Structure 1
Amino acid sequence: MKYLLIVCTLFVGGISFSQDNIILKTGEEIPAKVLEIGTSEIKYKKTSNLEGPTYSVSKADVFMIKYENGTKEVINAPQSTEPKTSEAPKKETDEKPLNTGEKKSYIEKVRQIQSIDPGFSFYVGNAWLGGNGISKPVIGFDVRFPRKNVFVRGISVGARVSIAGTDNAAYDSGVYSEVFAYTVNVKYIAPIPVKVIQPYFSFMAGAAMRNHYNNYSYSGDFIGSDVIPVANVCIGSNFMFLRHFGAFVETGYFTTGYINTGFVLKIGKAAKRKSIQ
């Protein structure tokens, strides 16, 4: 009976001293009996008072639990203390890099080509009119809309002043008419991925003042003048041999068929041509 009592005492004593250890990230150890490991906290009782209150500790503060049977469970592995190399945030832009070496879509090529085209253009040239061979000057300008869409960015508005000669019918009847036309034009630049050639369609509307003479020049007697509305549709193209300077040619109809030729000067910021693939 005496020996049985000794064995029971040792057994109970072994149970009372067996325990779990909760090791915090700070290195502190909590002798405990782990009751529950939840999603955000760990519940336990202190081994010094197993019949006492239940305590809890945040899982975020716990590094590891050592159980009484010798097994270990890591709750939060230690993180590296080495500083991370900071990377500057990439700036998001509407335009992709001009020279990436990768194959680009048709729309991307158009946007890149048009990025080398300044937005303000001056025109000066001659109007070759009808079959009578009369050459008269034409000057004008246009401004492109802000570039947001590959199709919208190809539209510009501007104004033009031209001096026209007599049409064939009036010429044959011996009447000379000097025409000063003032027009506003809307131009649609065709979205094609070509650096030099910039084809366009334009519509012009305005008014023209005509002075009539009974001869083929100003030396004839003045007959009278009138003002007529002007509406004109034409097709043409700019040929930009340089980023800011080139030539243009267009053909259309305004009281008589005509062909305009001349030079174009473009002003404004533009990407360098060599950066375009």
Structure 2
Amino acid sequence: MATKITQASPNLEAMIDELINRGFEEDIRTGDATTNAIIDEQSSATAVWNTKDEGIIAGLSIAEKVFKKLDSELQWEPHVKDGETVKKGAEIVSMKGKACAILTAERLALNITQRMSGIATKTRQFVDVLEGLDTQILDTRKTAPGLRLLDKYAVKAGGGQNHRMGLYDLAMIKDNHIIAAGGIAPAVQKVRNHYPELDVEVEASTLQQVQEALASDADIIMLDNMSPAEMRKAVKTIAGRAKTEASGNVTLPNVRDIAETGVDCISVGALTHSVQAFDISQTLQELT
């Protein structure tokens, strides 16, 4: 059910390069006025990154690319890997290179890593609550525009799985589609006719709609905003004939109760739409 970023995005490296270029255009434009005025362009420096939070790190390889856009010879030494747990105050990266590059790229690199680490940390919290169960935690399309690749990479680093990357790689029939098509059965049939290669997911908010989705041979049935009791009935009715996904108002306090209904997956929009950045600081140590 999960979509791998590498499969959905064959030009991944090019897309990341484009994202970094847009970030620099937004932030630097004609130059870093402060750094260019104070730091000699021939100067070298060392710097370190330290955490100010505890959680899961993600995005260090992207941050490295940010710095190396300005200094291709910069020496980048990460002390942890994406997906690792770090304590508050840990030194996670050291670097050596052109001082101007280290200072100019600092904010963009930190912004990316802090957002990604925040997503990874939140994801791991949900995953940990489901320890011992087979239910997977999925992300959604509720990502920051232009940052979906990074947001979904961070979910994977936190132990979650990726749902569809976009509107193109999985057909998800929601309530408005059902209304427009005149019912679940005709909606599924129209999608099958147009895109026979795609899996079809149907959003069901009642047990009657679950029955209709089953009769239409949906590949995945989303149990939308159902109570745990309704979900148990739905899972029993589906009996493995389709994958099941729970969605709607999922929180850390209730996610295990939802998982214990027997659903295959639980999608959590809060992983990416309500991100609390993971605090990381950069300190310049030596300037020569």
Q: Same fold (TM over 0.5)?
A: no
Report the TM-score when normalising by structure 1: 0.21
Structure of larger gyration radius: 1
1 or 2 for the larger relative contact order (CA 8 Å, sep ≥6)?
A: 2
Q: Could you tell me the TM-score, scaled by structure 2's length?
A: 0.20
Higher normalized strand content (fraction of residues): 1
